[in-house]
């Protein structure tokens, strides 16, 4: 085992500070990489020593239920390069919210509805991050990733990424196959805010001069009032995805007197339901199981109230999804990566 080759390699490393849930699991090996050379050495080290590889950015969408027996690579690659009027290549380790601020300061528009989503640029295409009526796939034109099977960097056009609701080719691929290096964005030079999300539309109904900057401020304000700050309370945002059901299934649920809000997709053949509404209706808001709990203002957010293990949170999540299965006949899928 050539562990001594990698100067920054940590053994039996605590993961507490590397995920926003703050659970106290450990990784057999962990390394932070600041450039491509370090990254390739780390990949080689994992390959030579038959170690499972897991890439992390900010750790804001992952729950470790056990110690990780392989190598965790934390991506710290930075840099923003502007190409022409409105294209950007952004390195995977850049902070997402800082990028959103940077684009507005540079009169490039489109990302403002995605303000304050924790994590890194490299993770944004993995689950096609979305919020307030916008998904990142609308602005991603290319993803450059290192394919650990082919041992080479590959460019994926937007259409190759197979983006879907909180999903992409990268999320479905075997863990550790693709390491996002850079993302290319095409933004707009025209300030034309998207107000399709009802609370934003209501807020700006009487404002004839709404700007991207005002939407950015509103999104930050709403998010701060609704979601717990991971620096203060361990969490990973929405734990489950919103379920998508057929029109027939929706009728069945409504026939049982459940007035669940539903948003039509695919011309009304399918509907997206609010997982938060379902969990709230099942009484989950504010419930606790020891030091694992559900946030008091949002039934979709699991919280570490102090010292919860990954297993405590996982068991709570299982109890929540069983209760939704029993009550509504719906199987909730986790949005968070469970390791």
Catalytic residues: 166, 238, 335
Residue with Cβ nearer ligand FAD (92 or 262): 92
Task: Judge residue 107's burial from the number of C-beta atoms within 10 Å of its C-beta, 0-12 exposed, 13-18 middle, 19 or more buried.
Answer: middle
**DSSP letter string over 93-107?**
TSBHHHHHHHHHHTT
**DSSP-assigned letter for residue 224:** H
Rounded distance between C-alpha atoms, residue 318 and residue 235, angstroms: 16
Rounded distance between C-alpha atoms, residue 324 and residue 328, angstroms: 6
Using CB under 6 A as the criterion, which residues of the chain lie in contact with ligand FAD when the complex forms? Answer: 20, 54-62, 75, 92, 117-120, 122-124, 126-127, 129-131, 178-180, 227, 230, 235-237, 337
Shortest distance, position 206 Cβ to ligand FAD, whole Å: 26
Shortest distance, position 291 Cβ to ligand FAD, whole Å: 18
Please measure the distance between the N-terminal and C-terminal CA atoms of the chain and give it in whole angstroms.
25
Residue nearest ligand FAD, Cβ-based: 119
Shortest distance, position 182 Cβ to ligand FAD, whole Å: 9
Residue with Cβ nearer ligand FAD (118 or 253): 118
Residue with Cβ nearer ligand FAD (77 or 253): 77
Shortest distance, position 178 Cβ to ligand FAD, whole Å: 6
Residue with Cβ nearer ligand FAD (120 or 242): 120
**DSSP-assigned letter for residue 16:** G
Angle at 173 between CA 55 and CA 269, to 5 degrees: 125
């Amino acid at each position: 085992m050539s562990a001594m080759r990698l100067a920054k390699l940590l053994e039996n490393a605590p993961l507490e500070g590397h995920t926003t849930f703050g659970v106290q699991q450990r990784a057999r090996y962990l390394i932070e990489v600041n450039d491509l050379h370090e990254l390739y050495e780390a990949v080689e080290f994992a390959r030579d020593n038959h170690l499972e590889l897991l890439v992390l950015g900010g750790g804001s969408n992952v729950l470790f239920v056990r110690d990780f027996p392989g190598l965790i690579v934390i991506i710290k690659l930075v840099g923003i390069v502007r190409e022409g009027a409105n294209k950007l290549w952004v390195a995977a380790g850049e902070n997402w919210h800082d990028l959103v601020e940077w684009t507005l300061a540079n009169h490039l528009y489109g990302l403002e509805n995605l303000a304050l989503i924790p994590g890194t640029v490299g993770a944004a295409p993995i689950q096609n991050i979305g919020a307030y009526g916008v998904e990142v796939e609308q602005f991603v034109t290319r993803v450059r990733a290192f394919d650990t099977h082919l041992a080479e960097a590959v460019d994926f056009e937007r259409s190759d990424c197979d983006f879907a609701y909180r999903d992409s080719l990268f999320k479905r691929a075997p863990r550790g196959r693709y390491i996002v290096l850079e993302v290319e964005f095409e933004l707009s030079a025209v300030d034309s805010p998207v107000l399709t999300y009802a609370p934003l539309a209501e807020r700006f109904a009487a404002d004839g001069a709404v700007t991207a900057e005002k939407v950015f401020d509103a999104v930050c304000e709403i998010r701060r009032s609704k979601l717990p700050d991971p620096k203060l309370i361990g969490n990973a945002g929405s734990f489950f995805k919103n379920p998508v059901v057929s029109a027939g299934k929706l009728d069945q649920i409504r026939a049982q007197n459940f007035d669940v809000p539903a948003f039509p997709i695919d011309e009304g053949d399918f509907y997206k339901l609010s997982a938060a509404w379902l969990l709230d209706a099942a009484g989950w808001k504010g419930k606790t199981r020891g030091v694992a709990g559900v946030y008091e203002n949002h039934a979709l957010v699991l919280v570490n109230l102090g010292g919860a293990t990954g297993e405590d949170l996982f068991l709570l999540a299982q109890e929540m999804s069983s209760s939704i299965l029993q009550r509504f006949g719906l199987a909730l899928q986790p949005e968070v990566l469970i390791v």
